[in-house]
A and B are shown apart, each in its own frame.
Chain A
Amino acid sequence: MPDPNWKTSCHHMSVCALTGASAFFASISGSFILINGPLWCYFYAMKYVEDYDASALRRFHCTQPEGNALVYGTEKDLLAGLDFIKNNFTPERVFIVNNCSVSLVGDDIAAIAAKAALPCPVYTVDSGGISGDFPEGYEIALLRVIKEVKKNAKTKTDLPFENPNLQDGNTVSTNVSKPENASEADESAANGSGIPSARPSVNLLGLTPTYFRGEEDIKEVRRILEKAGYRINAVPGGGSTWDEIMRLPNADLNLVLRDELALKAAKALESEFGTPFISAGMPYGIQGTLRWLATIDAALPAKNPEAVRLEAETVNARLRFRSSNMQSLWGPLWFDNILIAAPPSEAAGLAEAVRGEWADTGNLVIHFSQDTPLRPASADKICIAGKDDAAMKETFEKWNDGLVLGSSLEASRLVRLNKPFVNCNIVLPSYHEIIASDAPLCGIRGAAYLFERIWNAKLNGCMDEVRQTK
């Protein structure tokens, strides 16, 4: 019998690999996406991305093959789709993404695309639901683009590399030498100053604007790293242009922010270009952010980590002062239970931040939406979607009260079970909370924002309870 990894969808939420791949490709400006699959699959992928990037709407198209195409091939539909794009738009590149059933047909998509004779490059991937969920699709897309980085590097005899000058450390992968000072020369050329900059450079891997407050998190991660004195070389999937992505090998270090999205890619980049990487995770909480920065600093010394530490101290002092004031009126920030339901990087980091820095509880449960080796010490119980669905079911059924950090799905379950709770969304889908401000969840700004939301959740919960008892 296969591994017991059945997915009870009412206990956790994801979207399929088609969406993950599409989200990655859509983040590269000028790129068009042609989903080679049914309208239904296309629509859900497109809508998911379009919710966070209105421009994606015009760049997302679908071949909408009929059932017979799965017997006779999708060539006719694919050519029609490519013709539509050719005749109506001016893409810089097109990504054809096969859905799961079409990927089984075995069409030679590249050859069909060549027939369409588009005036721009066309790239193809299979990334349907049988490949997995969003992370697997994102990973497929990132690895596909890295293939192009390799090709691009091979065609350039003068590809600049630099000596990352890294310290040894067990969180750092291999430390491979490259030609010296290339990235400095690259930066000085880029800024036109002619003066080499000594700033160490990093690529940020595993970021996406299509996660909850993803765009804001990308900005915060960039802000902190730049403040610490790093140069951000590229953020594939997080807003970098095609040209910036092609320069991925120029960085001193690859930072993997979400293993589930980019660990394989970091390994591929290390193997191909010798760029070392660390699996840094996402920075949550004030102390968490400082620990995160210290890990990066240990691998690639920052120019000015003190600037970040000073900012963190200032904000932390403000949060503690506010917390103290509120506690004098409302008592401690206590929740009988805390449930954190999210992908591994979010859930693990937030569990440590919430319980370690802000709130107290007798029972912190994590529902990881993907398998992970992470086992944060702050958690009393850890469930992994697809492996521990019975235990997840129990979490909901035995829930009495507390704080839920998850998506609208967890809130929906508890509403239907008529269980009391307060909540803050930290992942999608987010139907009962609007995302309009530019506040991130991660980093120092994110810490202040989340601290505020958790306090307000408690206060609103108290107010609601009093109103209901009248």
Chain B
Amino acid sequence: MTNNDNRQEHNSKLATKWLFTKNRSCSCTMPGIWRAVSFCDGCAVIFHGPSGCAHVATLMDLGAQYRIIGNRISEQVDAVPLIASDLQDKDCIFGGTDRLRGCIAYVMETWHPKCLVIASSCVAGVIGDDVEQEAEDAEAMYRIPVLCVPYGGFLGGEYSDGYFQTARLIMDRFLTPQPKAPGTVLLLGDQMGPWGQYAREVKRLLAGFGLQVKWQFPGYVPFDRWREMTSASLLIPLNYAGQTQGGLEKTAADWQERFGTPSVRNIYPVGWQNTCDWLRSIGRLLQEEARGEAIIRREEKRLDDFIASILPVTKQKKAVLGIGRGPRWYNPAETLNTMRRMQMDITAVILFDKLAADEKETVTATVQTWLADRNLQTVPLIGNGDFNAILQDADVLLTTDEILDNPVRQFFIPMVPLAGTDGEILLMRTIYRLLCRYGNKGGIAYA
């Protein structure tokens, strides 16, 4: 049977909104390269590729900006120029290096950058343009540093590969060890920048130790101040909890080794328990354990006060967790902990078809361990797609993927992790507000 959008109905299986799987290249190196310097005043970025590639990066940046404005926060700095060399059909026959050379000249004349970053597209990769040579020539001609990441768009890896390679180039080229300025912190990673929830919360929590965040790298330090960054006395990677964002871990380790800045790694303030562990780690590192415990007590009280205010609505509500995001990006234990904290009745955990077999296996093991540890083995774990009945009975579905054509109230588990106590409160408040919802308004609630 088909309906008007030509979809076949499969018995009682429900369709998630997105269909793709994540077992192949999902992204492109170029936006990562752009993002690594996008707010570094003094830089300019050239995408040696079709103009559409630059439009995609700009669209991403625009989305991030409006998400921040949605939180009633205004960014304080402008993004640096992003220019496409605008490769066209004819360049694919004769090569695009002339076009790149012309574009570099145009950028130098129009934008007067102090540092130029060049990223190559998959088109430049296929036609074999020697982008590195052009970068070298430009550096000699214009006497400014020209960083080149010739990864060939999606051919060279993922977004994160472009992002971290650019960070490495900056570290190699511009940074050297120097004496540390006491009490100063360098944040490593993006998470929507200094105006995003993660960085703001980390700053707030670190202020409890008397620490001041002075820089966020890569992406948010003006070119003229890059050399200052190694004077930070502490490096805080903005990573995900319980997951592997290898590039960030590796960059943090590399930074510590090369510039002697101690860092807190392997534990990140995402989820309440992790936030406590993270605060304790910092306390230990600073030899201020008592101060760390005091901060934890203060934060715990904030959390408990908030939970007490929402419990009349959340307690014993039937809640289902839907998982379609692999373990590289998501740890279900965090969400399960939040559901438990809100004293919800977890009626099922469902696994969506889009999970690859190995991902499904890992996620299943994580969920089963979590349930067993809390003596909740009776909670069904449904992986065959037949979860219609359980959703009909649920008050809310906390999900990584929107379910189409289903009246259940849905909460979208954020892709960008929410950090610290504020993050936990933000999550719970959104779920609480969803449970307060009167009538069927459709859609999915975002934190």
Contact = CB atoms under 8 A, between A and B. Distances in A.
B51 to A, nearest CB: 4
Contact of B52 (A15, A59, A64, A70): A15
B132 to A, nearest CB: 19
A429 B56 CA distance: 11
Contact of A6 (B4, B25, B52, B106): B106
A132 interface: yes
Given A39-B20, A40-B26, A14 B6 contact: no
B407 interface: no
B98 A1 contact: yes
Nearest to A63: B24
B4 to A, nearest CB: 7
A415 B74 contact: yes
A92 B82 CA distance: 41
A465 to B, nearest CB: 17
Interface string A390-433: 10010000000000000011001101110000000000010110
Contacts of A198: none
Given A104-B92, A104-B127, A13 B107 contact: no
A39 B24 contact: yes
Contacts of A17: 52
B380 interface: no
Contacts of B65: 412, 415-416
A101 interface: yes
Contacts of B126: 70, 101, 104-105
Interface residues of B, number: 64
A217 interface: no
A15 B126 CA distance: 22
B86 A386 contact: yes
Contact of B82 (A10, A386, A393): A10
Contact of B154 (A40, A88, A92, A389): A40
Contacts of B82: 8-10
A316 B87 CA distance: 47
B69 interface: yes
A408 B66 contact: yes
A104 B85 CA distance: 18
Interface in A34-75: 38-44, 54-55, 57-59, 61-62, 64, 66-67, 70
Contacts of B328: none
B69 A88 contact: no
Interface in B1-32: 2, 4-8, 17, 19-20, 24-28
Nearest to B159: A40
B150 interface: no
A88 to B, nearest CB: 6
A285 B289 CA distance: 69
Contact of A416 (B5, B17, B78): B78
A4 B27 contact: no
Contacts of A413: 78
Contacts of B366: none
A70 B83 CA distance: 26
A263 B336 CA distance: 57
Contacts of B123: 100-101, 104, 128-130
A130 B92 contact: yes
Nearest to B92: A104
A437 B50 CA distance: 35
B125 A90 contact: no
A6 B103 contact: yes
Nearest to A40: B28
A140 to B, nearest CB: 11
Contacts of B154: 38, 40, 67
B84 A9 contact: yes
B122 interface: yes
Nearest to A91: B6
Given A32-B6, A431-B63, A100 B50 contact: yes
A64 B24 contact: yes
Contacts of B81: 8, 10
Contacts of A389: 83, 110
A89 B19 CA distance: 13
Given A67-B155, A133-B52, A393-B110, A2 B59 contact: no
A431 B203 CA distance: 28
B88 A130 contact: yes
A7 interface: yes
Interface in B84-100: 84-89, 91-92, 98-99
A1 B102 CA distance: 6
A7 B153 contact: no
Interface string B206-247: 000000000000000000000000000000000000000000
Contact of A64 (B25, B55, B66, B127): B25
Contact of B102 (A4, A59, A62, A429): A4
Contacts of B17: 57
A131 interface: yes
B62 interface: yes
- Please tell me the size bucket of the interface on A: 35 or more
B248 interface: no
Contacts of A30: 6
Contacts of A91: 6
Contacts of B78: 413, 416-417
Contacts of B88: 130-132
A460 interface: no
B9 to A, nearest CB: 11
A13 B101 contact: no
Given A412-B66, A416-B75, A89 B7 contact: yes
Contact of B66 (A10, A101, A432): A432
Contacts of A57: 5, 17
A129 B53 contact: yes
B99 A7 contact: no
A308 interface: no
A16 interface: yes
A431 B62 contact: yes
Nearest to B84: A7
A434 B256 CA distance: 46
A390 B66 CA distance: 25
A372 B337 CA distance: 58
A18 interface: yes
A10 B6 contact: no
A83 B260 CA distance: 55
B360 to A, nearest CB: 19
A4 B28 CA distance: 27
Q: Most B CB atoms within 10 A — which of A88, A104, A128, A413? A: A104
A6 B47 CA distance: 10
B57 interface: yes
Nearest to B31: A40
A4 B58 contact: no
A11 to B, nearest CB: 9
Contacts of B2: 89-90
A8 B83 contact: yes
B27 A412 contact: no
B193 interface: no
B50 A89 contact: no
A17 to B, nearest CB: 7
A40 B107 CA distance: 27
> Shortest 3 CB-CB distances between A and B: which pairs?
A16-B52, A129-B50, A129-B52
Given A10-B82, A431-B63, 17 more contacts: A5-B86, A6-B106, A16-B50, A17-B52, A39-B20, A57-B5, A70-B125, A90-B8, A101-B125, A104-B126, A128-B52, A130-B87, A130-B92, A133-B52, A133-B55, A415-B65, A416-B65
23 contacts: A6-B107, A7-B83, A7-B84, A8-B83, A13-B58, A14-B51, A16-B55, A40-B154, A41-B56, A59-B5, A64-B24, A89-B6, A91-B6, A100-B52, A100-B122, A101-B155, A131-B88, A133-B51, A393-B110, A413-B78, A416-B75, A429-B59, A429-B62
Interface of A: 1-2, 4-10, 13-19, 29-30, 32, 38-44, 54-55, 57-59, 61-62, 64, 66-67, 70, 88-92, 100-101, 104-105, 128-133, 386, 389-390, 393, 408-409, 412-413, 415-417, 429, 431-432
